[in-house]
Structure 1
Amino acid sequence: MDLGISGKKALVTGGDSGIGWHTARALLKEGATVVITDLEQSKLDEAVERLGAPPGTVHAFAADVTDLDDVARLHERTTQEVGFIDILVQAAGITGAQGAFDEIDDEGWTNTIETDLLGPVRVAREFLPDLRRGWGRLVFISSEDAVQPYANELPYCAAKAGILALSKGMSRAYAEDGLLVNAVSPAFIHTPMTDAMMRKRAEQLDTSVDGAIRTFLDDERPFLELKRRGQPDEVASVIVFLCSDAASFVVGSNYRVDGGSVATI
């Protein structure tokens, strides 16, 4: 199937690993030119090497999505070296402050929301003119936590719920400009973020990482019917579909890639 992405220009935040990196790889396979961004240039350069794409098809520009000046510089450099983007995938994010609600202070809330909600807001606002040129795709990465919140990670849950509201609201505001905005909500994907979570759990329970994963699935994600971590390319394939002409009548939607983890319809 021709997805109509060949020749398009895409920006992927959080692109040095995990879902962002696999999305970049999938977009490259479909013929897009891709810019990946994340915090550290050295890690981005390594990510480009792992992508193994032809010269000129992938670019790596470091930027901090919590910094307005950084985001503006990212836009300027992208425009100068690549051109106006057609596709924006917002995959940058952190687990953020965890623990009981009454034990998380304002700094924990602020740091989480700055990255997971306001970061995507800043990037979307900065690149919005590029995407309103008659054909545009914007995909926000939310989470199962947005609709099925967990008591020990409420800042993350609240930020991801905000992402769903942002995505739906923007979809209504800009569809007439040819910009289709959607969200993807993964659950327990095999990424550096969940690797860190499982290592921490293994230490707390004095078990192996595999043991930590098994008990996490049993105790914390009982509705994840496939009983395994998802793979980032399983999420990337849905993201790339939403970036394509094949999804030309999909707007304002939230696609769950969660192995059944969300217990309701």
Structure 2
Amino acid sequence: MIINLSGKTAIVTGSTGGIGLAIAKGLAEAGASVVICGRQQDHVDAALNQLRPTQAGAQARGVVADLGTAEGCQALISTEPQADILVNNLGVYGAKAFFDISDADWEEIFQINVLSGVRLARHYALGMQARGWGRIQFISSESALNIPSEMLHYGVSKAALQGLSRGLAKVLAGSGVTVNTILPGPTRTEGAIAFIENMARERGVSATEMEALFLVENRPSSLIRRFASPEEVANLCVYAASPQASATTGSALRVEGGIVESIA
């Protein structure tokens, strides 16, 4: 299968590292003109440098904005008013006991993980609908289905994306615009590596040992029995953004290593 996204503009939020950067690179390698988004200019510049060798690297550009705010979303929209592909990857997470999660914590995680996607989809979907083609993705998590007790607010925010994506797919039914969620499992991103290293120090074990312990203790149903790479997640995102995925919409596409105990 040859995926050709030449002539398409793709916006990937939270794309200066990790899964977001891997998605941006994958889309650029398929020929899309990619817009990198991040809060710091130096991080955006570093990400753009990684896209330069790709097929559409010369067309890649960046926007510096805090998309966890309404003002930041509007800044992106003002700079890039049109897109054919929107990947809402921006998200934060962190372990915190339920009884310690404050109202401010809940508000922050919903502003970043959920409302950023709402605001951007509300704008870009209209243009896609008018042109009769578009791809919208929300990067969710297997935690949307297996709500983790150690970061309940994160799991709930990802579950909200599942409902948002399915509902928006219905709103755009028959328009040529597809809307899907992508559900990664534990993925070896910079943030996950730091998370595991912190746990390793607390437990007095190596990071490699802690990664294995984390899977046994927190994700025992994993079938690949390892963390995925960002590129493995990005491969599914690039396919879902392609013309070949035209009949896939309203779906939760899993790339979580078989953690979810379901045959559906």
TM range (shorter): over 0.9
Amino acid at match of 2:109: T
Question: Which sits farther off after the overlay, 192-201 or 144-153?
Answer: 192-201
Q: How many residues align?
A: 260
Distance 2:97 2:70 in 1: 31
Q: How much identity, in percent, do the aligned residues show?
A: 34
Q: Give 1:211's match in structure 2, choosing from 209, 212, 232.
A: 209
Per the alignment, residue 73 of structure 1 pairs with: 75
Per the alignment, residue 147 of structure 1 pairs with: 145
Distance 1:67 1:184 in 2: 23
Per the alignment, residue 221 of structure 2 pairs with: 223
1:3, distance to aligned residue in structure 2 (A): 2.5
Q: How does 1:93-132 map to 2 (within 5 A)?
A: 93-96=91-94, 98-132=95-129
Per the alignment, residue 264 of structure 1 pairs with: 262
1:161, distance to aligned residue in structure 2 (A): 0.1
Distance 1:39 1:176 in 2: 35
Per the alignment, residue 15 of structure 1 pairs with: 15
CA contact (8 A) 2:69 2:111 kept: no
Amino acid at match of 2:5: I
Gap runs ≥5 in structure 2:
none
Per the alignment, residue 3 of structure 2 pairs with: 3
Please state whether the residue corresponding to 2:187 is helix, strand or coil: coil
Q: How does 1:13-92 map to 2 (within 5 A)?
A: 13-53=13-53, 56-79=58-81, 84-92=82-90
1:165, distance to aligned residue in structure 2 (A): 0.3
Gap runs ≥5 in structure 1:
none
* Length-normalised TM-score, structure 1: 0.94
1:55, distance to aligned residue in structure 2 (A): 5.8
Please state whether the residue corresponding to 2:65 is helix, strand or coil: coil
Amino acid at match of 1:218: V
Amino acid at match of 2:8: K
When the two chains are superposed, the root-mean-square deviation of aligned CA atoms in Å is 1.4
Please state whether the residue corresponding to 1:85 is helix, strand or coil: coil
1:120, distance to aligned residue in structure 2 (A): 1.2
Distance 1:56 1:11 in 2: 15
Question: Which sits farther off after the overlay, 40-49 or 120-129?
Answer: 120-129
Q: Give 1:201's match in structure 2, choosing from 193, 199, 202.
A: 199
Amino acid at match of 2:120: V
Distance 2:97 2:90 in 1: 25
Give deviations 1:175-198, integer Å, cap 9, x for gaps: 222210011000001112211210
Amino acid at match of 1:12: V
Distance 2:191 2:262 in 1: 25
Please state whether the residue corresponding to 1:236 is helix, strand or coil: helix
Distance 1:2 1:224 in 2: 30
* Length-normalised TM-score, structure 2: 0.94
Amino acid at match of 1:61: V
- Off by >3 Å, runs of 4+ in structure 1: 53-56
CA contact (8 A) 1:95 1:193 kept: no
1:206, distance to aligned residue in structure 2 (A): 1.4
